[in-house]
Structure 1
Amino acid sequence: MTTPNIVWTRIDERLLHGQIRITWGKHSGANLILVANDDAADGPNAAFMQAGMKASAGGEYAVRFFSIQKTIDVISKASPQQKIFVLCNNPTDVARLVEGGVPITHCNVGNMHYHEGKRQINKTVSVDDKDINAFERMVAKGVTCTIQNTPDQKPINVLELATSAV
């Protein structure tokens, strides 16, 4: 077992799309995008979701679709040559990965859209108590969680923003 070469972890409600490939993929130096999401891996619309995301990757990256549990179970078997970009669509899934032993040290938050029951804390990020709890769990495990929509923007601490917006 080796420590996987995780080069970036991002929360984006849209999962894999053009901005990930063009902006964050290049910025991170990744050669593999791991979509860690139960629905994209095994859900009833998984084949449809995967086809769209593979097209968004543009052939520039290897793409894998694993459930949260499978990611926890197999990521330590990754080749050292794999530069892994972990992509989730919510903070609870990232917290589950961290608590399951996936060595994530930083979580970049991109797009978490406004939905009923959430409050907007940033132009592109809205949270509820469940999201804040997940970020708190990650921070307690030593993970830095920052909002940064594009690499040229200054990172903003999620919890500082979320707690000041109460």
Structure 2
Amino acid sequence: MTTPNILLTRIDNRLIHGQVGVTWVNHLGANLVLVANDKAAQDKVQQSLMDMVLPDVIQARYFSLQKTIDVIHKASPRQKIFLVVKDVHDALTLKEGGVPIDHINVGNMHYEEGKKQISATVSVDEKDIKAFKRLDELGVTLDIRGVPNEKGQNIMELI
């Protein structure tokens, strides 16, 4: 089994949108955006909207969490993967399922009832904090950044 070439994993409740599509892909030099999300994997309309923001040279895949866990180790070393998940719980499921995630960019977790805002773009509740702490225990670096040239902030210092 080869280790997949995952350049970065990003948590963003919007998944792929203009900023991610262009800025992060270019910054990372990725040629494959892998969206690991059970709902998006089933939603062709959402997929085509996400495809539209990506440059033509970039491939996109929309896999369920389980399929990602099952196939990620079959990725070709030529695939420079930018892995995008919707929330910290999906990221933790992948990590505990054996996906080699060692660095997570926490991009966007929107505010909703019962969550506290810890940065301009990130709000968390107790369950989120527990999941971040577990990822931290598993040795994952957790970095809050909207765009690549921002100075990152370790989420563990904010929760």
TM value normalised by structure 1: 0.93
Partners of 1:115 and 1:59 in 2: how far apart?
Answer: 35
1:100 aligned onto 2:106? no
Say whether the 8 Å CA contact 2:22–2:55 is kept in structure 1: no
1 CA distance for matches of 2:121 and 2:57? 26
**RMSD over aligned Cα, in angstroms?**
0.8
Deviation at 1:85, TM superposition (A): 0.4
Shift of 1:154: 1.0
C-alpha separation in 2, matches of 1:14 and 1:90:
10
Give the structure 1 partner of residue 8 of structure 2: 8
1:34 is matched with 34
Name stretches of at least 5 consecutive residues in structure 1 with no aligned partner. Answer: none
Unmatched 5+ residue regions in structure 2? none
Q: Secondary structure at the match of 1:122?
A: coil
Aligned pairs (5 A) from 1:127-138: 127-138=124-135
The answer to whether the 8 A contact 2:92-2:131 is kept is yes
Kindly provide the amino acid, as one letter, of the partner of residue 143 in structure 1: V
**Residue in 2 that maps onto 1:47:** 44
- After TM superposition, where is structure 1 displaced by more than 3 Å over at least 4 residues in a row? none
The CA deviation at 1:58 is 3.0
Equivalent residue letter for 1:33: V
Q: Secondary structure at the residue paired with 1:114?
A: coil
Q: Equivalent residue for 1:74?
A: 71
**Which of 109, 112, 116 pairs up with 1:115?**
112
Aligned twin of 1:25: 25
**Counterpart for residue 87 of structure 1:** 84
Question: Quick one: distance in 2 between partners of 1:13 and 1:140?
Answer: 23
After TM superposition, the structure 1 stretch with the greater mean CA deviation from structure 2, 100-109 or 54-63, is 54-63
Supply the distance in 2 between the matched residues of 1:53 and 1:22 (Cα, whole angstroms): 11
SS in 1 for 2:56: coil
Secondary structure in structure 2 of the residue aligned to 1:79: coil
